[in-house]
Each structure stands twice: as C-alpha cells, then as structure tokens.
Chain A
Amino acid sequence: MSPQDFDFVAQLLKQRSGLTIGPDKAYLLESRLNPVARKHGFAGLNELIQALRLRGDQSLTKDVVEAMTTNESFFFRDTKPFDQFRRLVLPHLLEKRAAKRSFRIWSAACSSGQEAYSLAMILKEFDSKLTGWRVEMVGTDLSTEILDKAKEGLYSQFEVQRGLPVQLLVKYFTQEGDRWRISPEIKRMVTFRTFNLLDDPTPLGQFDVVFLRNVLIYFDQPTKAKVLERVAKLMAPDGFLYLGGAETVLGISDKFQVLPAERGIYGLAASAQPQRAAASA
C-alpha cells in the first residue's frame, strides 16, 4: 500500500470513527481490509481504495470503518472491574437509588455484547434485591454488523471459554451444535443500539454507570477529551465511569477523578458536579 493510500484511509477512519492509526499499523489495515475487498468483488486493496476515492460509496465506506473498528471482546474481561461492580457499584446504587428504584448502565463500544451480558449475569445474582426495580442496560457500538451478533447472542466455543466461569455457561447458555446461545432471560436485560462515540450522546439519556473500556486507546488526545467531556455530561452526579486498564483521564480531562483505592473506576470531579446538577434540576 502506498503512503498516499494509507494516509487517505487513515484520514477517512479518523473522520468517521475517531480511530487514529499510525503507519506502524499498516499491516492491520491490510489484514482487515482484504476481506472487505473480496466481499465487494475487488481484485485487491488497491482497487478498493481507488473505489473509495472515486465513488464515495457509503456502504463500502461503512464496511471499511466497521472492519477497522471491530475489536475483540470477551466475557468478564479483566475480572477485576466486574468484582468492583459487584462489591462497590451495585451496593451503592441499591442504597442511593432506593427511592426511585431504577438505574441505567451504558456499555459503550460494546462489540459483540460480552461486557453487557456479563453485567446482566451479575445483576441476576442480585435478583431478590432488585425485585420491583427498573434496571436498563444499553449496549452501543458503531458497527451494525457486530451489534447483530450481540443481539443474536450466539458465541463460539472459544468465545464462551474466555473469562466465562463454567457455572455461568451451564446456567445461562444452551448449546447449538458447536456454538452456545445466551438465554432469553439475560438477552432481554440488554438493549443494543448503533451509536458513534463522536456523535452527541444526549439522546441516549442519563446513565448511572458507564463502561467505556479499551476504546479511548484508539483515539488521539483531542478526540479522547471530546468523548470524555460528552460522557461527563450524561453521567449521574454520583455515577461511575469505567475505563480500560491501559487508559486514564489524567492529562486529558478534568471532569473525572479516580475513586480512591479503586483503579480503573472514576467518578465525576467536583468541578463537573454543578453543571450536572444544574442540568438535571
């Protein structure tokens, strides 16, 4: 791939998804876009890029962006964030939301749904305490193709073995050939919607917990700041933000502060509170 072609695709990805890729990721571009070229009947990557330049084909552009932004996901990824959710976040919400008996969780850039479904399985543990509560879980992703997979809830043998305890496999999945389907009771706890993190998230409503894990690493600094700014605006004043293990708000946004002794979870900083309180008043 020529440097000009690389720059063209990199620019396109930045505009459409916020994804920043450097020349060291040229191999990734080639490995992910070759299947897209084949799908659209092109002889190779050069032809595909030429078509992107000349035709501005929306469906082709969408496939290219989705192929580059679709990332691996697995159940209970990293374990610790889910332990924190069970130990700290849920008890907090049960106490602080006792009057209105409802809360909302956002799994942002949810890919094929494993994070949202993992949270749903934890919520099931609290079934007796949540009787009569309205808990809404929203999973969003840029890719409609990956969301179709999330909605389907059908996973390969490899996928159900990465992080998912076998007791939960037995409890919440049924086997279909060599694949495993998540149960309707877990599936109906999650709503999946297409959403681009570069867009205004206001229509999604306010959230008490936001999982934005392993997403910011793909963005440049200004895009990270912009996304965090918007997330801050739709978080409840005492809400929780989860970032990935390699991500931080330090030096990017002053809207959040890390929870003491709880690495990876952030609350709204005092400076971000009045704005939120005023907006929700």
Chain B
Amino acid sequence: MKRFLIVDDSKVVRMVARRILEGLNFETSEAENGELALQACRAQMPDAVLLDWNMPVKSGIEFLRELRGWPNGTEPKVVFCTTENDMAHIQEAIGAGADEYIMKPFDSEILESKLTQIGLL
C-alpha cells in the first residue's frame, strides 16, 4: 500500500483529502505545516505528498525546495493542492519540482485524475 503524506494547516481539508485517498487505497499520514512535513519525511519517506501552499512556520514551496535538495528527496511525487490558482504560482511550483498541481476547490474526481496522470493510480 502506497503512503501519502497530507500537508495542510486546515484540519477540514486534511480530513477530506484523507477520506478520498484512503478510499483509493492509500495509507495516509498528516502534517499541519512544512516543517512538520519535513520531519515526517525524515522519519519515513512517503510515496507521495499532497501539499498546501500557505501554512504557518514553513510554507509548501519552502518544504518542496528543501525536500528536493535531499539525496532521496526526489523520490516522492508531490501534488500541490492550494487556493493559489494563478499561472505564476503554478510555474513556480513546477520549477521547484512539483509533479502536479490542484487548484482548490477540488473534488475526488480531480484528485483521482491527477494521481492517474502521474502514475500513482
């Protein structure tokens, strides 16, 4: 079973994402900011990360840049899932190594189609 780390400061978003991902047979864990997400990755590297942009302590983009700098940090697929829905943010995310990008609001169909695109389903 593939492991998905859900990183979002909103408990509600984490819960919604968890339900969808567990319904797709992923094992999930959660972190509420980029710093805690890095700690989680250090402890056990997930197969994929669903990542919010704006979070306290450490943002999603800061997390991604740091993660991709690690020797094994290119392994997990990273899917941004954020309200930042403009081209500049999308390009910045891709530049930092994001594999996919979801603009909130999202539904299970969008998440599923994005995961299919990057070979997770």
Interface residues of A (CB under 8 A from B): 74, 76, 79, 157-158, 161-163, 165-167, 169-170, 174-175, 178
* B113: chain A residues within 8 A (beta carbon): 74, 161-163
In contact, B94 and A161 (Cβ under 8 angstroms): no
**29 A-B pairs in the complex with CB atoms less than 8 angstroms apart:** A74-B113, A76-B117, A79-B116, A79-B117, A158-B107, A161-B102, A161-B113, A161-B114, A162-B110, A163-B113, A163-B117, A165-B100, A165-B117, A166-B90, A166-B94, A166-B98, A166-B100, A166-B101, A166-B114, A167-B94, A169-B90, A169-B101, A170-B87, A170-B90, A170-B91, A170-B94, A175-B86, A175-B87, A178-B85
A158 CA / B102 CA spacing, docked (Å): 10
* A163: chain B residues within 8 A (beta carbon): 113, 117
Interface residues of B (CB under 8 A from A): 85-87, 90-91, 94, 98, 100-103, 106-107, 109-110, 113-114, 116-117
Greatest chain A CB density within 10 A among B86, B91, B103 is at: B103
* A74: chain B residues within 8 A (beta carbon): 113
A167 CA / B90 CA spacing, docked (Å): 9
Beyond the given pairs A76-B117, A166-B98, 18 more chain A to chain B contacts, judged by CB atoms under 8 angstroms and listed by A's residue number, are: A157-B85, A157-B103, A158-B107, A158-B110, A161-B102, A161-B103, A161-B106, A161-B110, A161-B114, A162-B109, A165-B117, A166-B94, A166-B100, A167-B94, A169-B90, A170-B90, A170-B91, A170-B94
A175 CA / B109 CA spacing, docked (Å): 22
A161 CA / B114 CA spacing, docked (Å): 8
Q: Within the complex, what minimum Cβ distance (angstroms) separates B83 from chain A? A: 11
The 5 A-B residue pairs whose C-beta atoms are closest, nearest first, are: A166-B101, A161-B110, A163-B113, A165-B117, A175-B87
A167 CA / B102 CA spacing, docked (Å): 12
* B106: chain A residues within 8 A (beta carbon): 161
* A79: chain B residues within 8 A (beta carbon): 116-117
A148 CA / B116 CA spacing, docked (Å): 30
A158 CA / B109 CA spacing, docked (Å): 10
Complex: chain A residue closest to B98, CB-CB: A166
* A76: chain B residues within 8 A (beta carbon): 117
* B85: chain A residues within 8 A (beta carbon): 157, 178
A163 CA / B102 CA spacing, docked (Å): 11
Q: Within the complex, what minimum Cβ distance (angstroms) separates B113 from chain A? A: 5
Q: Within the complex, what minimum Cβ distance (angstroms) separates A145 from chain B? A: 24
* B110: chain A residues within 8 A (beta carbon): 158, 161-162
* B109: chain A residues within 8 A (beta carbon): 162
Complex: chain A residue closest to B118, CB-CB: A165
* A169: chain B residues within 8 A (beta carbon): 90, 101
A74 CA / B116 CA spacing, docked (Å): 14
* A166: chain B residues within 8 A (beta carbon): 90, 94, 98, 100-101, 114
Complex: chain A residue closest to B88, CB-CB: A175
Q: Within the complex, what minimum Cβ distance (angstroms) separates A163 from chain B? A: 5
A174 CA / B103 CA spacing, docked (Å): 15
Complex: chain A residue closest to B100, CB-CB: A166
Complex: chain B residue closest to A162, CB-CB: B113
Complex: chain B residue closest to A158, CB-CB: B110
Complex: chain A residue closest to B109, CB-CB: A162
A170 CA / B92 CA spacing, docked (Å): 11
Greatest chain B CB density within 10 A among A161, A162, A178 is at: A161
Greatest chain B CB density within 10 A among A74, A161, A166, A174 is at: A166
Complex: chain A residue closest to B93, CB-CB: A166
A175 CA / B110 CA spacing, docked (Å): 19
Q: Within the complex, what minimum Cβ distance (angstroms) separates B15 from chain A? A: 21
Complex: chain B residue closest to A167, CB-CB: B94
* B107: chain A residues within 8 A (beta carbon): 158
